Every structure is written in structure tokens, then in C-alpha cells.
Structure 1
């Protein structure tokens, strides 16, 4: 193999990116030259010229990223602990600040214990790598996040995919002979599916987990903070929080920072702390990151009800604006999804929109099925109705003209 031959699949990825760049249609990795007063508006570089854009690709759903309390907590933490943790958490990088945040996260999700991971995907990898292995079987929704699928396959356990949100198919797989013979069974689903914006049938899945003595793991990455009466996620919203065995999540969406977390009972948490490679083999979160998360938890605890209400209302408004403009949209319950079909068409639309002052989130295979490329529009509490009206008009025109 030469250094430029990476195999058919990877070569095709490079050929596609080369082609899009040559045609000036490459829409990924937008460069932010300067942040605005919120994540809903930034100054973007990488276009023909720098320009201010409205951002509909942000995961700062509740809008606390630029809150003064969040920024102050992020600035204060390094004054106490420096810029880094100076070692793995087990031997030199676990501070009082980390310990306090773990207690805060555990209390938020009403769990006995919590652990902090460097990212949400590493939380998924850590949980599945420690709780599943050869002789076990993991059941995944086919639209689960890639980090869940990766963690399940790397664990060495058997992996079975059930059709998206199809509990009858899941039950069929659980009833199979190989499932009955497995040492342990784990069911892992997203609380909110990021590519389609829909929710899983968690009540039915929890019932199946109980009947088949399976561990139920819910990844609340996109739903924690944003869903549920107290912002505990889809499991709280759907009334099954007490039936979920392990919760994974991230601070990079509603909590204005980065990093991941796992919530469970004390026995599971202790096992992960001492056996999860994704936890042990890396440095802990930087003090500034932990400080920012603390600030965000404080803001969301006080103002969460209003901050959760506004994105829901604005998302519903954008749905109606797009429908009125003749744009087909997916059946999402959270994100606004505009199916666009091919990679090339999606890239043209996204590139055109950023040039007109609108940054959207294009999703391509393998994140979505082949032929199912789309725009994911992330509405936040910081958007205005006027911005969304203009966005709907720009999107409608681009979708109609970029055939």
C-alpha cells in the first residue's frame, strides 16, 4: 500500500472532499473569526470575505455559553488550579473542583454517582468498554450515535442493530437463542436522535429491558438540560428516569462547555473509575472547562424552564415558516431537519447559505444513510423570530434553485 492508498472507502472520502474544495463547495469545518454576544451570531472566516452570520448549526440550545456567570466561573477556576490537571485523574489530576462537579451532575440526574470524561463520545466508549465484553450482547438502534456503535464494537461483545424505534424488532432480537445464551444483555439508545431530532419509545424499551433482564443505557447528549420538567432529559420527559440503569451525556450542548459524564449507581461508577480505559488513559477536564460547566448548571437551574420553553416555541415557528415557504421537512420533535438528498446538492446549498449570512449544519453519510443528506437546523434560545423568518426565506430559495 502506498501512502496515498487508504482503501476504497477512505479513498472515496478523500476524492469527494477534493472535488468539493476544487469547486469551492466544501461546507465543513467553518472557521469562526470572532464570537458574537451569543452563539446564535458569529463572524465567520473562510468565505470570500469575513462576514457576520446567523448560526443555525449551534448546539448551545439553551444559550448560556456567553452568560457572564459562565464566563466568570471559567476564568476563576484556573486561578485556583492552573490551566490543566497535570496527569491522569487516577494519579494526579483529580481536583476538588472535579469532585464537586461529579456530585452536582449526579444530583442533577438523581443518581447516586457520576464520573467526568473528556468528551461525550469517550463517555460512551468508557461505559461500553467496561460493561460489555466477549460473551455479552449489545442491542443498538440503527440511528444511535457513532460513538455508541464504536464503543459496542470495540468492547468485543456481540452487536445487534434493531430498526429505528422499532420495539417489535428489538423484542424479536431479545427473544433469539443467541440473546438468551448471552452472559449479559445491554440495550443502548439515544435520548434524542441527533440526525432526525426524534425521540425513542423509552417506555416500551424500558419494559423490554426489564422483562429480558437487560441493562438499559440512555445517551442524553442532545436532551440533557433541554428536555424534561427539570431538564434531566428524554428519560425524565417520558417518565422512565428511574428505570434507566446508566445515563451518558455531554456538557457541549445545553451546558455551554465540553466534556462528558456518566451517571449510575455507586457500584457501576466505581467499576468505571477503575476499569474504563477512556477514563483512566487520559487527562481529566481542564479546570476552566469544569468552571464553565458549573456556571452553566447554575444558570440552567435558575432559568431552565424559560430557556427550555423558548427553543421549543421557536423550533415550532421555524417548522411552520419552512412549510409555508414550500420546504419539505422531516418529522423531527426537536431539531428542524431539511432533507436535501445528495451530498453534492447539500454541499451547494450549505455553501450558498453561508455566503448569504446563514450557517447551517449539513449532515452527510455515514452520519446519515446514503442518499439521505440533510440540513440540521439548531434553534437556540438566543435566536429571534426575525432571524428565523429570514433563514426560512434563504433556505427556501436555495433548496428551490440548487437542483
Structure 2
């Protein structure tokens, strides 16, 4: 192999796996969407020239707002008013009154005094963690946290102590025994996902919040998959578990329940002020396009009116999917909400099942390394408030048949 194309053992192994799956007709990634509805799409797998319809259970449009007329109109109106892009980075190029309105609406929705918009949810985590943690600080992180959290901590330079997934006792042990590096005084942070996107379970936030208070640590919760969907007002896992006022910072994204794009952080006024002037992933990036801001604003307005009913339908649909899968003998690995996980195991087997499902009319999300540990590949089904009883029954049937066919 030429040195120019030898990328090292790990990357070469990834490319070899892609080649193998493509050669076997089992490659399940990057389908091209040629037409999209809320729970339906027409996709064209990379190795075919013909598109075909699928029922989508691989979406994060949990509340079904991506085609809501008011959300679409909000994007169109904002684009007509401000155009498709910004002048540059916001500190010098400015941001629009819509950006201000969305930050104010987010703060009011979250119950925190302030909010800040980021280009993506990933950049929200990079910016928050890179600003609040640094050399001399210690961060305690659930070992199954989203990779954007892990990346933010790596960039921060802080000492990281990973605790076993959803294990407050292990966290307490680390908090008792892990002091600042080399005895230097420093800040302590605890950071967790509210709803874990690859496991479908909730963090034990009451226990974690109690430990944060006992050991004087800031608590940061990523509500990417739970914002808008969980809690009486859709404020996320922290609201559902009644610890919202004990969380110092929440991060999240508009790409899930809010059916738009971009990320955000909600916190106290001074903390938001610090992030605005210090978070590099905010300062060095152009602001969100006005169209996405308009869509997010409209989504918040729609949810103020329709959110309770949409969350009820989402909750009922998720419960029915989990019940029906269990009745069919399909393991859902303790999934607790609208992120329903089906363990498969080996990467190639997971890819083949996902591709077989797509070819038969069901689009799900295959999670394979490095997104999950080696040997821990799985399928993730994203439930929507718009799924029907027939959608759920058909998904269970197809998934059961595909898994059974792979086992033979």
C-alpha cells in the first residue's frame, strides 16, 4: 500500500470493512433520500439506481414537526427576511433579532436565566466543556456518554474520571478519591446524557444531582434526545426526574424534537455571558442561518400549543413498540423511552440486518463501531408521535423476520 493511502491500522480496518460490506451488498449507511414525509421516505441505497419507499424508524423527528406547516413557514419567512446566511462570525458580523428571540424563548422554555445558540449540538458540548473545564480541573463522566462529550473533554485538557454506566455508587467513589491533578485546586464537573442515544436508558439524575451538591461539582446534562420529548413541559430528562433546578447547564440540539438544526446551551446569566465570549466553537463559527432559527422558533411555539398531546402519542407509541417487540421475543436492552435499542452484536450481522430491512421497506439506524464498542453493534429505532399502530406492527414483523433470517 502506498504511504499516501496507508492511514494506520484502525482507519485501514474501517475502509476494509466498508469495502467488504459494499461488495457483499450489505452496506447500510448513507442512503440517499429522494423524497421525505414525516414517517415515510423514498431512499436509494448507494449501490442501486432505483429508489423505493420505506417506513422510517431511523429518524430523530420524535414529535413529527419536520413537515408541520407552521415550522416550514417559519423557516421560509425567516429566510425571506434575512437571506440564507450570516455575514460571518457573530462577534463581529452580528446576529439577527430572530437569534435573540430564540435565545430568549429557550431560556423561558428551559427555566434557566440564559441561553446561547451553537451551530450544532456537538459544538454546544465542545464549547461548554472546553470553556468550563481545563487543566487543573476534574470531570466525572459516564463511560457511555455521547462522543461529542468525550471530544469536548479531550479538547479541554481536564483530567477525566469515567464512571460505570448509570452507576452512582461508582461515581461517589471517584468523587471521594479523585482529587485535582497534582494536588492543585480546581473545578469539578459531572457530565452525563439525560437519555442515552445508543442505549435508550435514562441517567439516574436524582442520585447524580445529590452527589454534585455533596461534592461541590457543576452538573452538565446533555438533553439532545430528551429535550422537547420528556417531562410535563418537554424540558427533558431533568424535568421528568424532578431535578431541573439542580442542573447547572443543559445542552441540546434542534435536530431532534425541534425539527430544525443547530445546538444550544441553557444556564445562568453569567455562565452564558462567559460562553458567549470564550467558547471557541461559538466565537469562531458563523451564526445559524436565519431559516433554521425561524424553524426552531416556530417549533417552540407549536409545542407550547400541541406539545402535551404530541408527547402523549410519542410515549404511547414507544411503549407499544417495546411491548410488541418483547412479545415477539426481541430484546430491547432495557430501553425506557422513545429511543428503542435492539442488540445484535457483530458489526457485519448488524449491517446485513439493517440493509435487509431497508430493502424490505423499513429504515432503522444501525449503530456500529466506533459509535458503540466492538461486539456491541445494535439497531436503534427512533419512535415518532406520528407513527400509526400499523407502522409499529409492520416494523415488529419485519424486524423479527430479519433477525430470524440472520440467525439461520
Q: Please give the range of the TM-score, normalised by the shorter of the 2 chains.
A: over 0.9
Decide which of 177, 187, 196 is 1:184's aligned counterpart: 187
Q: Does 1:219 align with 2:201?
A: no
How far apart are the structure 2 equivalents of 1:69 and 1:98? 18
Deviation per CA, 1:286-318: give whole Å up to 9, x if none. 000001101111111111111001111111111
Where structure 1 has 5 or more consecutive residues not aligned to the other structure, the ranges are none
1:9 CA drift (Å): 1.1
Please say which of residues 246-255 and 40-49 is displaced more in the overlay: 40-49
Aligned to 1:341: 345
Separation in structure 2 between the aligned mates of residue 189 and residue 329 of structure 1, nearest angstrom:
22
Hey, what's the Cα distance between the residues in 2 that align with 1:392 and 1:182? 54
1:388 aligns with 2:389: no
Alignment of 1:38-53 (within 5 A): 38=38, 40-46=39-45, 48=48, 49-53=50-54
Which shows bigger deviation, 366-375 or 165-174?
366-375
Provide the secondary structure at the position in 1 that maps to 2:135.
coil
- Is 1:376 aligned to residue 376 of structure 2? no
Structure 2 runs not aligned, ≥5 long: none
Number of aligned positions between the proteins: 401
1:34 Cα deviation (Å)? 0.8
SS in 1 for 2:148: helix
Aligned to 1:107: 108
Q: In structure 2, what is the Cα distance between the partners aligned to 1:68 and 1:132? A: 41
Hey, what's the Cα distance between the residues in 1 that align with 2:326 and 2:102?
A: 43
Contact 1:199-1:234 within 8 A present in 2 as well: yes
Which residue of structure 2 lines up, in the alignment, with residue 78 of structure 1?
79
For 1:205, the equivalent position in structure 2 comes to 208
Aligned to 1:9: 10
Task: Please state if 1:351 is matched with 2:350.
Answer: no
Kindly indicate whether residue 253 of structure 2 is the aligned counterpart of residue 250 of structure 1: yes
Contact 1:57 1:361 in 2 (8 A): yes
Give the superposition deviation at 1:325: 1.9
Per the normalisation by structure 1, the TM-score is: 0.98
User: CA shift at 1:181, angstroms?
Assistant: 5.0
Matched, 1:290 2:293: yes
Secondary structure of the residue aligned to 2:195 is coil
1:367 equivalent in structure 2: 371
Name the structure 2 match of 1:314.
317
Aligned to 1:301: 304
Residues 325-379 of structure 1, C-alpha deviation per residue, up to 9 Å, x if partnerless?
2222211101111111100110110000000010001101222221111111111
Partner-residue secondary structure (3-state), 1:151:
helix
8 Å contact 1:137–1:158 — kept in the other structure? yes
**Equivalent residue for 1:148?**
149
Distance in structure 2 (CA, Å) of the matches to 1:387 and 1:203: 35
Question: Pairwise CA RMSD of aligned residues?
Answer: 1.1
- TM-score between both structures, scaled by the size of structure 2: 0.96
